[in-house]
Structure 1
Amino acid sequence: MLSDRRRLVLRALIEEYIARALPVGSRTLVERYNLGISSATVRSELSLLEDMGYLTQPHTSAGRIPTDYGYRAFVDDLLKDSNIKVDESTLSQLKDCATDLDDLLDKTSQALARLTDCMTMLVPPRFLSVDIRLINLVPLSQSRLLVVIVTDDGQVFDRQMDIPASCTPESIQRTQELINKLLVGRNLSFEREILPSELKDVQDDLFQLVVSEIMICLKEKNAIKAHPLGMSHLLGKPEFSDPACLMPILEELEGDTLLLRVFDDAVHSDKPVVRIGHENDSEALSSVSVIANRFGQDSHRGLIVIVGPTRMNYSAVITAVRAAQDILKDL
């Protein structure tokens, strides 16, 4: 547990490092921040913060920079601070960029990229849930089945699956009729916890197997789709001055694995979900932070995702994300 003074010093160092991307020394903090303590005391606090894992010193003669652990303490304080409200100027800019309902999501995404100086992805609600029109089960062989899913907006998905050789055409037909009875006309979300209870309660192995495949199919082929904006903002950061450093991150985005990793946590949280550096599941994302927040309600929930260096301006990004969430709440 950090003391108030240690927390103040840590916050000042992180804000300075975010602003200048250079190691920070005690003299800089004393001169630029009204800490109310001497340079010697600041040096002592910095040394202790380093020993505790909040800071690191890249070179013996250089100042210090935050670790992922240090950023985590800083961000947790931001998320707990009830005095941090949505900035009215930020909210106004987002509204100005999102006046046309037809391209509200696109303009909001563009505004977020500009305001956060990071890469932005916005997943529309229609990619987090679908309305089912029809499901067909087509036997391909004694142990192979084709599942065909048609949605109300005209999308058609299919997936092949293995089934027990003991399944008869009659059992497949019964399963198809029951699935259509329970799902047609309903909104089906890709969130694991809100699978309709009627489906969970059916005591039939083939039925449960097919339902599981339907969820996997929809989640893989429709749920996680987004077009990133603001890639140039990442390229302009000192951390990514060598484009080769950005290639692993781009590969993660191309496969949509980044969104898959934050999807479940973010759509179930009222607050922004923040993953910093090595908190991300992939080593390729160890140099970036990911901030994700849902917007909308119930089946109309979408997802806002911001990707930037671990040195991103967390306060500004979280404020902009909350503003976007407010803009899109009635979508």
Structure 2
Amino acid sequence: MSATEDRRAQVLRAIVADYISSQEPVGSKALVDRHNLGVSSATIRNDMAALEDEGFITQPHTSSGRVPTEKGYRQFVDAIHELKPLSRAETHAIQSFLEDAVDLDDVLRRAVRLLAQLTQQVAVIQYPILGQATVRHLEVVDLTPSRLLLVVITDTGRVEQRVVDMGRPVSEDDISALRTLLGQAVSGKRLADASSDLAEAAAAAPDYIRTAAVQASSVLIETLVEQPETRLMLGGTANLTRNAASFDGSLQRVLEALEEQVILLKLLAASRDLAAGPGRISVQIGEETKAEDLRGTAVVASQYGPEGSALGGMGVLGPTRMDYPGTMASVAAVARYVGQILSER
């Protein structure tokens, strides 16, 4: 990179940082006053003109300074090679707050509260993906003589319940045998790998419980294995109103989009591909979200889970004018601790 290109990169970083901080267009005089760039205002104006020609910044009004474009934010984010770690006090507070959670729901609830508070944006976290979870225990409970409740508890602490109508009374002895049969078929296995084991166990069941085993295994396969239910938890939606002006009048569309779980799941799925593993951060800016109603927003996300695996996604959504380095560091820290806590339970 030439000296001129290096300086223009510095100018762009300064414009992005100042605009994020002040929410006002940035002029050449402000850059000279606030940043030690070592050149005159005239040189800075030339650099800003070149950056504008290249599409990294734009001038919203004739007499105003410049603001970053989505391309400029992308260049800024791509130049972040190392995240500034949170302070020891901040990381200790995060860890302590999450460790006090009593169950999975509480862990996730605390995680979105933390992310919303740390970033002042909307936080979202995906429940552990069932297909990636390992079955810790399967219980069969009789609700009525002919209706059974199947309870699946995963290694992440997630609890799923399904009701099976057997069509005829089932004895206590049959329920006990069914519990043993199904439990042996799935215990210690990932739900994504359990289909064939459940089907084989049901087909090989003793005659007196084979029908019940087939019915129960069919419900488990169809609703938990082949069609895993994915849920999300949101926090800090009110933070969007503090940045209403940053959405160019489209805040209502953003709020409506947040209600569409499918849109958020697609964003987290995209982050999984972009981030390539737990602890890695992805940033989707503006049009990169591929969601018409989320133009003018950015999504900073990561995957959480034990080392080497991903249980689900989490992140924040806010205006493109956000503190990217701070937000990325916060998302990475919370994702890391959520993964650690869930792996220890």
Q: Same fold (TM over 0.5)?
A: yes
Q: How far off its partner does 1:238 sit? A: 4.3
Match of 2:287 in 1: 278
1:95 maps to a residue whose letter is Q
Query: CA–CA distance in 2 between the matches of 1:275 and 1:128?
Result: 26
For residue 46 of structure 1, report the CA deviation from its aligned partner: 0.6
Q: Does 1:269 align with 2:294?
A: no
Give, in whole Å, the separation in 2 of the partners of 1:73 and 1:266: 18
Q: Which of 33, 41, 45 is matched with 1:31 structurally?
A: 33
One-letter amino acid matched to 1:156: R
SS in 2 for 1:75: helix
Show CA shifts across 1:89-116 (max 9, x none).
4313323432413133322321211110
2:86 is the alignment partner of 1:70:
no
Structure 2 residue identity aligned to 1:36: G
Q: Is the 8 A contact 1:182 1:198 kept in 2?
A: no
Change in 2 beyond 3 A, CA 1:30/1:94: same
> 42, 45, 49: which one pairs with 2:44?
42
The offset of 1:259, in angstroms, is 2.3
Specify whether residues 230 and 70 from structure 1 end up closer, same or farther in structure 2 by C-alpha distance, changes over 3 A only.
same
Alpha-carbon shift at residue 311 of structure 1 (Å): 0.2
1:301 maps to 2:311:
yes
Q: Which runs of 5+ in 2 are unaligned?
A: 140-149, 154-158, 165-181, 198-220
CA RMSD in angstroms, aligned pairs only: 3.4
Cα deviation digits, residues 171-214 of structure 1 (max 9, x gap)? xxxxxxxxx9998443235xxxxx78989xxxxxxxxxxx8997
Q: What is the one-letter code of the residue matched to 1:235?
A: T
Q: Quote how far apart the aligned CAs of 1:126 are.
A: 5.4
- 2:328 — aligned with what? 318
Instruction: For residues 58-95 of structure 1, give each alpha carbon's deviation from its aligned partner in whole angstroms, at most 9, with x where no partner exists.
Output: 111111110011000111111x236x334434313323
1:164 corresponds to which residue?
A: none
**Are the counterparts in 1 of residues 247 and 296 from structure 2 also a CA contact under 8 Å?**
no
Q: Decide whether the 8 Å contact of 2:303 with 2:310 is kept in 1.
A: no
Preserved CA contact (<8 Å) 2:11 2:47: yes
CA distance in 2, matches of 1:111, 1:120: 9
Which residue identity does 1:293 align to in structure 2? S
Deviations 1:280-330 (A, max 9, x none): 111111111001101112666232120010001001101111211232232
Letter in 2 for 1:249: V
TM-score (normalizing by structure 2): 0.69
Is 1:187 aligned to residue 184 of structure 2? no
Asked if structure 2 preserves the Cα contact closer than 8 Å seen for 1:119 and 1:230, the reply is yes
Aligned equivalents of 1:263 and 1:182: distance in 2? 34
SS of equivalent to 1:71: helix
Q: Which residue is equivalent to 1:81?
A: 82
SS at match of 1:318: helix
Indicate yes or no: 2:125 matched with 1:117: no
Counterpart-to-counterpart distance in 1, 2:246 and 2:67: 17
Give me the whole-angstrom Cα distance separating, in 1, the residues matched to 2:328 and 2:34: 24
Q: Conserved in 1, the CA contact under 8 Å of 2:282 and 2:302?
A: yes
Which residue matches 2:215?
Answer: none
Decide whether the 8 Å contact of 1:117 with 1:233 is kept in 2. yes
2:21 is aligned with 1:19: yes
Q: Is the contact made by 2:125 and 2:313 (CA closer than 8 Å) also made in structure 1?
A: yes
Aligned partner of 1:202 in structure 2 is none
Indicate if the aligned counterparts of 1:128 and 1:302 stay in contact, CA closer than 8 A.
Answer: no
> Which residue of the partner structure matches residue 238 of structure 2?
232
CA distance, structure 2, for counterparts of residue 317 and residue 187 of structure 1: 33
Q: Cα gap change, 1:54/1:111 in structure 2, threshold over 3 Å: closer, same or farther?
A: same
Distance in 2 between the 1:157 and 1:43 partners? 69
**1:213–1:48 CA distance, 2 compared to 1 (3 A):** farther
Residues 50 and 127 from structure 1, CA distance in 2 versus in 1: closer, same or farther, beyond 3 angstroms? farther
Moved more, 102-111 or 124-133: 124-133
Matched residue, 1:173 = none
1:252 aligns to what SS in structure 2? Answer: helix
Supply the distance in 1 between the matched residues of 2:132 and 2:100 (Cα, whole angstroms).
24
Residue 142 of structure 1 aligns with which residue?
none
SS at match of 1:231: coil
Tell me the TM-score normalized by structure 1: 0.72
CA distance in 2, matches of 1:120, 1:299: 22
Are positions 1:257 and 2:262 aligned together? Answer: yes
1:240 CA displacement: 5.3
**Could you say if the C-alpha distance between residues 228 and 127 of structure 1 is closer, same or farther in structure 2, counting changes exceeding 3 Å?**
farther
Distance between the aligned counterparts of 1:130 and 1:67, measured in 2? 41
The count of aligned residue pairs is 275
Query: Of 156, 160, 170, which residue of structure 1 is paired with 2:162?
Result: 156
